[in-house]
Structure 1
Amino acid sequence: MEKDMTLPNPPRSRARAGAIPLKSLRVSRWKERLLAYGFLAPSLIVFGIFLFYPLGKSVYLSLFLTDPQGRIAEFVGIDNFKAVLSSDQFYNSLWVTVKYILFTVPTGAAAALLLAALSHQKLRGMKIFRFIFSLPMAVSVGTGSVIWMILYHPTLSILNYGLSFLGIPAIQWLTDPKWALPSIAMMTVWLNLGFNYIVLLSGLQGVPDDLYESAKIDGSGSVRTFFRISMPLISPSLFFVGVVSIISAFQSFAQINILTKGGPMNSTDVLVYNIYQDAFINYRFGSGSAQALILFVLITALTILQFKFGEKKVHYQ
Structure 2
Amino acid sequence: MLKSPATHSSTAPVTSDKAKSKAERSESGFWLNAKDKYYAWIFLGPSLLILGVFIFYPMFRTLYLSLFLTNTVGKPTVFVGLSNYINLLTSADYLSSLGVTMVYVLAVTVITIALGLILANYASKQLAGIGIFRTLFSATMGVSVSVAAIFWLFIFNPSTGFLALVSNWLHLPQINWLTDPGWAMLAVIITTVWMNLGFTFLILLGAMQSVPTTLYEAASIEGATPRYQLFHITIPMISPTLFFVSIITLIEGFKSFGLIDLMTKGGPTNATNMLVYRIYKDAFYSGNYAQASAESLILTVIIAIFTLIQFKVLEKRVNY
Moved more, 74-83 or 86-95: 74-83
Aligned to 2:305: 301
- Distance (Å, rounded) in 1 between the aligned partners of 2:284 and 2:308: 31
- Distance (Å, rounded) in 1 between the aligned partners of 2:289 and 2:141: 34
Is contact 2:279–2:296 with CA below 8 Å preserved after alignment? yes
Aligned to 2:108: 104
- Distance (Å, rounded) in 2 between the aligned partners of 1:297 and 1:113: 29
Is contact 2:264–2:272 with CA below 8 Å preserved after alignment? yes
Aligned to 1:228: 232
The answer to whether residue 2 in structure 2 is matched with residue 4 in structure 1 is: no
* Among 186, 194, 210, the residue aligned to 2:190: 186
> How big is each residue's C-alpha offset from its partner over 1:209-266, in whole Å with a ceiling of 9 and x where there is no partner?
1211211222212221111100111111111111111111111111111111111111
- Distance (Å, rounded) in 2 between the aligned partners of 1:231 and 1:259: 35
- Distance (Å, rounded) in 2 between the aligned partners of 1:78 and 1:60: 11
The answer to whether residue 164 in structure 2 is matched with residue 160 in structure 1 is: yes
Moved more, 307-316 or 13-22: 13-22
Q: Which amino acid aligns with 2:135?
A: F
Classify the secondary structure of the residue corresponding to 2:78: strand
> How big is each residue's C-alpha offset from its partner over 1:62-114, in whole Å with a ceiling of 9 and x where there is no partner?
11111111122211111111111111111000010011113211111111111
Q: Which amino acid aligns with 1:226?
A: L
> How big is each residue's C-alpha offset from its partner over 1:161-196, in whole Å with a ceiling of 9 and x where there is no partner?
123333322211101111001101100000001110
Is contact 2:154–2:161 with CA below 8 Å preserved after alignment? yes
Is contact 2:138–2:201 with CA below 8 Å preserved after alignment? yes
When residues 126 and 42 of structure 1 are mapped into structure 2, their CA distance, relative to the original with a 3 A threshold, is farther
Residues 256-267 of structure 1 aligned to structure 2 (within 5 Å): 256-267=260-271
The answer to whether residue 20 in structure 2 is matched with residue 16 in structure 1 is: yes
Residues 1-317 of structure 1 aligned to structure 2 (within 5 Å): 1=2, 3-7=6-10, 8-316=12-320
Is contact 2:112–2:197 with CA below 8 Å preserved after alignment? yes
Q: Which amino acid aligns with 2:157?
A: H
Deviation at 1:279, TM superposition (A): 1.2
Deviation at 1:271, TM superposition (A): 0.8
> How big is each residue's C-alpha offset from its partner over 1:251-289, in whole Å with a ceiling of 9 and x where there is no partner?
111111111111111100111111112111111111110
CA RMSD in angstroms comes to 1.4
Is contact 1:199–1:237 with CA below 8 Å preserved after alignment? yes
Q: Which amino acid aligns with 1:50?
A: F
- Distance (Å, rounded) in 2 between the aligned partners of 1:183 and 1:154: 12
Q: Which amino acid aligns with 1:198?
A: L
> How big is each residue's C-alpha offset from its partner over 1:104-156, in whole Å with a ceiling of 9 and x where there is no partner?
11111111111101110112332222121111111121221121111111211
Q: Which amino acid aligns with 1:280?
A: F
When residues 210 and 270 of structure 1 are mapped into structure 2, their CA distance, relative to the original with a 3 A threshold, is same
Report the structure number with the largest CA radius of gyration: 2
- Distance (Å, rounded) in 2 between the aligned partners of 1:46 and 1:216: 54
TM-score by length of 1: 0.95
Is contact 1:263–1:269 with CA below 8 Å preserved after alignment? yes
Q: Which amino acid aligns with 1:36?
A: A
- Distance (Å, rounded) in 1 between the aligned partners of 2:248 and 2:311: 12
Deviation at 1:25, TM superposition (A): 2.1
- Distance (Å, rounded) in 2 between the aligned partners of 1:296 and 1:274: 14
Is contact 2:69–2:290 with CA below 8 Å preserved after alignment? yes
In the alignment, structure 2 segments of 5+ residues that lack a partner are none
- Distance (Å, rounded) in 2 between the aligned partners of 1:169 and 1:107: 26
Is contact 1:136–1:194 with CA below 8 Å preserved after alignment? yes
Deviation at 1:10, TM superposition (A): 1.8
**Identity percentage of aligned residues:** 40
Q: Which amino acid aligns with 1:51?
A: I
TM-score by length of 2: 0.94
